């Protein structure tokens, strides 16, 4: 039953994000007089026509995934047919730019609204790349970062075992200096023969100070990074600024991830760690469903933002790639050859399909 719910949640998640993207194109096109020939729920082949309104066919399609918008003239072969009144190519340059970016805008708007509400009402913690960033955010009052390093075990025969350091427990400070990451402990023990640990027992939360001998910078404990982060209820203004920061962080990390993907495929012939596809997203959806609807909603916001970033990249067949051709026309005062545009977009689409297949295969491979 849980698997079925997760599968439906996965399908709903991706379909919703694609649909709001296509709604952006739909409303933008209608607002500037471009004829929308079809708005499809799901992907072809078509099951049936639901209804027709203002010249647009609203259809239900067999593949239950997202949807699509077909604008007048998009599939026209001749330049004359492509530029008839009401077609996409007949619209002004600013109008076409608006249509192409409207889907990205809708995905971005959705994610920012969800992030703003989440950071304000639901105590969501922003994304931080390093512990130093978390410390700075704690200083600014964005979050509360409690010191503490998890003591997983105590090695037999070590000095910590001799004085009976409890495990598991949380190491709060070394010689009165708060520790946040394992390297803090290592740095504070360098050159010392004895240190004082402040520990919090996992059972009951009792704090205890213990004097521990140091041998060659070590005491014989196995420690792990285990930050305890909380966040306050924030005003909407601060939550909105944090949502802008989340957009910036996600954009940078997405671009870095894409560059790593291409470099790794070019030089090593493999998909790098941290890159995930449809199967990986399905796993994330299953995990978020297990954690609760707020986790699921945050995943939707993150993926909506990722979808916006990917679509605006200047790659053929994506919105950003099509935008490049519009900008070329604006600069050169004439459109690029139709044949060249079609070939470029087709090649770009095939490359995207190949990348999706490679990443998906890598996801499946990791499962086994």
Contact by Cβ (8 Å): 257, 277: no
List 48's β-bridge partners, or say none: 60
Find, among 254, 276, 300, the residue nearest to 10 by Cα.
300
Specify the higher pLDDT residue, 228 or 202.
Answer: 228
CA dist., res. 25 & res. 257, Å (int): 27
Specify the higher pLDDT residue, 324 or 76.
Answer: 324
CA dist., res. 193 & res. 79, Å (int): 82
Q: Start-end ranges of CATH 2.30.42.10 in the chain?
A: 144-229
| 7-21, 53-67, 73-87, 93-107: range with lowest mean pLDDT | 73-87
The per-residue pLDDT for 233 is 84
CA dist., res. 197 & res. 211, Å (int): 6
Contact by Cβ (8 Å): 207, 185: no
The pTM for the full model equals 0.86
Contact by Cβ (8 Å): 333, 324: no
Specify the higher pLDDT residue, 199 or 147.
Answer: 199
Average pLDDT over residues 218-223: 93
Q: Within 13 Å of residue 121, how many CA atoms lie on the same side as its CB?
A: 8
The per-residue pLDDT for 3 is 67
Residue 222 has pLDDT above 90, yes or no: yes
Tell me which H or E stretch contains 45.
Answer: strand 36-53
CA dist., res. 303 & res. 319, Å (int): 17
Contact by Cβ (8 Å): 312, 297: no
Burial (CB count <10 Å: 0-12, 13-18, 19+), residue 253:
middle
CA dist., res. 347 & res. 336, Å (int): 16
In total, the chain counts a number of residues equal to 368
**Homologous superfamily assigned to 144-229:** PDZ domain (2.30.42.10)
The distance from CA 277 to its chain's CA centroid, rounded to whole angstroms, is 12
Residue 288 has pLDDT above 90, yes or no: no
Structure token digits, residue 103: 């889907």
CA dist., res. 276 & res. 80, Å (int): 43
Q: Tell me the three state secondary structure of residue 132.
A: helix
CA dist., res. 353 & res. 365, Å (int): 18
- Average pLDDT, rounded, for the chain: 89
The per-residue pLDDT for 320 is 94
Q: What does the radius of gyration of the chain's CA atoms come to, in whole angstroms?
A: 27
Contact by Cβ (8 Å): 243, 115: yes
Find, among 109, 107, 24, 108, the residue nearest to 71 by Cα.
24
40: phi then psi, degrees, rounded to nearest 5:
-105, 135
């Amino acid at each position: 039953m849980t698997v079925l719910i997760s599968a439906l949640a996965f399908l709903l998640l991706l379909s919703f994000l694609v649909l709001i993207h296509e709604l952006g194109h739909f409303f933008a096109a209608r607002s500037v007089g471009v004829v929308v020939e079809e708005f499809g729920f799901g992907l072809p082949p078509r099951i049936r026509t639901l209804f027709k309104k203002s010249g647009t066919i609203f259809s239900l399609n067999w593949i239950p995934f997202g949807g699509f918008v077909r604008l007048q003239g998009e599939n026209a072969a001749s330049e004359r047919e492509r530029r008839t009144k009401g077609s996409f190519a007949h619209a002004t340059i600013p109008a076409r730019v608006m249509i192409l970016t409207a889907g990205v805008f809708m995905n971005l708007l959705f994610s920012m609204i969800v992030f703003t509400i989440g950071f304000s009402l639901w105590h969501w913690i922003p994304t931080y790349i390093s512990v130093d960033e978390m410390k700075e955010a704690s200083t600014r009052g964005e979050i509360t970062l409690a010191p503490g390093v998890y003591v997983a075990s105590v090695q037999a025969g070590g000095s910590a075992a001799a004085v009976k350091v409890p495990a598991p427990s949380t190491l709060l400070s070394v010689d009165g200096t708060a520790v946040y990451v394992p390297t803090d402990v290592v740095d504070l023990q360098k050159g010392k023969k004895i240190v004082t640990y402040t520990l919090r027992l996992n059972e009951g939360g009792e704090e205890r100070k213990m004097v521990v001998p140091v041998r060659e910078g070590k005491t014989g404990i196995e420690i792990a990074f285990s930050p305890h982060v909380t966040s306050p209820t924030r005003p909407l203004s601060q939550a909105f600024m944090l949502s802008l920061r989340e957009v910036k962080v996600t954009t940078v990390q997405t671009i870095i991830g894409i560059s790593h993907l291409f470099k790794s495929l070019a030089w090593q012939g493999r998909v790098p760690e941290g890159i995930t596809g449809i199967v990986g997203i399905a796993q994330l959806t299953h995990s978020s469903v297990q954690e609760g609807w707020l986790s699921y909603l945050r995943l939707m916001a993150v993926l909506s933002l990722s979808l916006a970033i990917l679509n605006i990249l200047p790659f053929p067949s994506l919105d950003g790639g099509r935008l490049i051709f519009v900008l070329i026309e604006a600069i050169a005062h004439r459109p690029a050859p139709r044949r060249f545009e079609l070939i470029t977009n087709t090649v770009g689409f095939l490359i995207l399909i190949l990348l999706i297949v490679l990443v998906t295969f890598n996801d499946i491979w990791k499962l086994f």
